[in-house]
Amino acid sequence: MAPSAASFLVLKNIRKSYGDHAIIKGLNAEIEKGELVSFIGPSGCGKSTLLRSIAGFTKLDSGQIILDGKIVNDDVPHKRGTGMVFQNYALFPHLSVESNVGYGLKILGQSKAQIRDRVEELLGLVHLPGLGKRRIDQLSGGQQQRVALARALSLNPKILLLDEPLSNLDANLRVTMRAEIKRIQKQLGLTVIFVTHDREEAMSISSRVMIMTGGLVEQLGSPTEIYDRPATEFIAGFVGHVNPLEGNVQSVNGTQGIIRVSTQLGPLEVFSNGGDFQTGEAVKLIVRPEHITICASQSPAGCTGKAPDGNGQLVGQVIDAMYTGSIVKYNVSIGESKLIVEQYNPRECGVFSDGQRISMKISRDVHILRKGEAA
Ligand SMILES: Nc1ncnc2c1ncn2[C@@H]1O[C@H](COP(=O)(O)OP(=O)(O)OP(=O)(O)O)[C@@H](O)[C@H]1O
Ligand SMILES: [Mg+2]
């Protein structure tokens, strides 16, 4: 996406090195007002470096950070209109909650009464009313997280930057706090960038997800775009399970938008989704476990496990079944190939057991990538 001055936050050709180690390598991205965008990517890909650069704690080598129409590269952090929550919260442990939350307001020279009123308002917002006099080391992890949020919001930032804010919390609290962040974001109409290692967290609360690798954006899109139409095989596997299937385009039906692909499972038909594919082209199919429906248990005589007529009908054998209540996850072998299949209606069809032969159908909705894109 080409940067334009119209977006609320524009990151334009951002570069940052440490010594001769290039960390951010000419990154471009745009974020709109009121969005909650998650940054995810492998450890060391530059997420924190980018976030700290936006906040003003790390100086760029080159490029521009344009926030609300203004280039903020040379502005000090508290003059940028950014609020940041660090992974370890960076609260002052020996100070009270109200001293922590009101810290920035005090530096700005606000009166005691102004600070008291604003701190009380912020503590109400993060659901910690009346806890102002407590010391930080007398709070739980979740409460400290709320204090860090209140402090980051104290100066009414244009954009809230959260660097793995939930990573110190246990699984249940993480789910509660991510809902809290979403509630506060909606209530204030805030623009938020949320760095996380947790893909489910990113997918569940974000308007868009930005996947970074090696200091660049690999894809920036809505959670459904990222999951259903991943730009690369890496992204497909990063955000969910994939059964990758190599193949070659056998024929293209332009009117119906259907492509017939020869694969090791036999010919399969898939939707082109506007992609311009040529006969003979090498492709990769991104088959998600839920693209495969188990039709019925059967064991037709002489079945080879190949799709007979290109409509995605397959016969395989259950290697093992993992029952989790609402879904059953199967490892299935089809000839030499192995697939992971999810069954969402175990009560209707019953649970198939190890060694049982099953019939399956692959949906035409699977995503198709060019061989070059799949790399
Ligand atoms: N102050 C620094 N001096 C030298 N190298 C640094 C510095 N800060 C970060 N790096 C290096 O820059 C690279 C990117 O680091 P960064 O913290 O941005 O990664 P990240 O994507 O946030 O990773 P994680 O998911 O583990 O938090 C890493 O190789 C890291 O070692
Ligand atoms: Mg980091």
In this structure, are 207 and 277 located in the same domain? no
CA distance 213 to 26: 12
In this structure, are 205 and 247 located in the same domain? no
Tens-place pLDDT, residues 297-319: 554 433 344 444 445 678 899 99
Least confident window among 2-6, 99-103, 198-202, 220-224: 2-6
Confidence of residue 153 (pLDDT cuts 50, 70, 90): very high
- 293: containing domain: 241-374
Is residue 231 scored above 90 in pLDDT? yes
Last residue of a domain, one of 237, 268, 300: 237
Q: Which residues are within 8 A (CB) of 272 and not within 5 positions of it... i.e. 6 or more apart?
A: 252, 257, 258, 259, 368
Residues of 86-99 as b/e, b for ≥16 C-beta within 10 angstroms? beebebeeeebbbb
CATH number, domain at 333? 2.40.50.100
Tens-place pLDDT, residues 246-261: 999 999 987 888 999 9
Whether 195 is in a domain gets the answer yes
pLDDT average, residue stretch 332-339? 92
Contact 45 CB / ligand 1 (< 6 Å): yes
Which position has the token pair 């969005």?
35
Helix, strand, coil shares, percent, the chain, to 5: 25, 35, 40
- Collapsing DSSP to helix, strand or coil, 209 comes out as strand
Choose the residue to mutate in 14, 17, 48, 86 for probing ligand 1, maximizing ligand atoms within 8 Å of C-beta: 48
The predicted structure's pLDDT at residue 300: 43
Q: Which residues are within 8 A (CB) of 318 and not within 5 positions of it... i.e. 6 or more apart?
A: 330, 331, 332, 352, 353, 354, 355, 356, 357, 358
Question: How close is the Cα of 220 to the center of ligand 1, in Å?
Answer: 21
Whether 219 is in a domain gets the answer yes
Gyration radius of the chain over CA positions: 25
In this structure, are 161 and 299 located in the same domain? no
Question: How close is the Cα of 122 to the center of ligand 2, in Å?
Answer: 27
**What value does the mean pLDDT of the chain take?**
89
**Domains of the chain: total:** 2
In this structure, are 302 and 338 located in the same domain? yes
Is residue 141 scored above 90 in pLDDT? no
CATH number, domain at 179? 3.40.50.300
Whether 31 is in a domain gets the answer yes
Contact 105 CB / ligand 1 (< 6 Å): no
Is residue 346 scored above 50 in pLDDT? yes
In this structure, are 217 and 326 located in the same domain? no
In this structure, are 79 and 40 located in the same domain? yes
For the CA of 44, the nearest ligand: 1
Q: What is the DSSP letter of 143?
A: H
CA distance 184 to 194: 13
Structure tokens at 360: 């399956």
For ligand 1, atom 5, the nearest C-alpha belongs to 18
Whether 3 is in a domain gets the answer no
CA distance 225 to 227: 6
Contact 141 CB / ligand 1 (< 6 Å): no
Least confident window among 50-64, 205-219, 225-239, 265-279: 265-279
Whether 4 is in a domain gets the answer no
For residue 59, give the amino acid letter. K
In this structure, are 173 and 41 located in the same domain? yes
Last residue of a domain, one of 237, 264, 281: 237
Tens-place pLDDT, residues 26-49: 999 999 999 999 999 999 999 999
Q: For the chain, give the percent of residues with pLDDT over 70.
A: 93
Whether 196 is in a domain gets the answer yes
Contact 187 CB / ligand 1 (< 6 Å): no
Whether 263 is in a domain gets the answer yes
In this structure, are 92 and 126 located in the same domain? yes
Last residue of a domain, one of 184, 216, 237: 237
In this structure, are 52 and 158 located in the same domain? yes
In this structure, are 286 and 361 located in the same domain? yes
Which pairing describes strands 62-67 and 36-40: parallel, antiparallel, or unpaired?
A: unpaired
In this structure, are 105 and 150 located in the same domain? yes
The predicted structure's pLDDT at residue 297: 59
pLDDT average, residue stretch 276-299? 85
- Alpha-carbon distances of 276 from 34, 89, 279, 282, 370, rounded to whole Å: 35, 48, 10, 13, 10
- Under 8 Å between Cβ of 11 and 2: no
The predicted structure's pLDDT at residue 312: 64
Whether 1 is in a domain gets the answer no
Is residue 348 scored above 80 in pLDDT? no
In this structure, are 16 and 100 located in the same domain? yes
Tens-place pLDDT, residues 77-136: 988 999 999 887 789 988 999 999 999 999 889 999 999 999 999 999 999 988 999 999
Atom of ligand 1 nearest to the CA of 215: 14
pLDDT average, residue stretch 154-180? 90
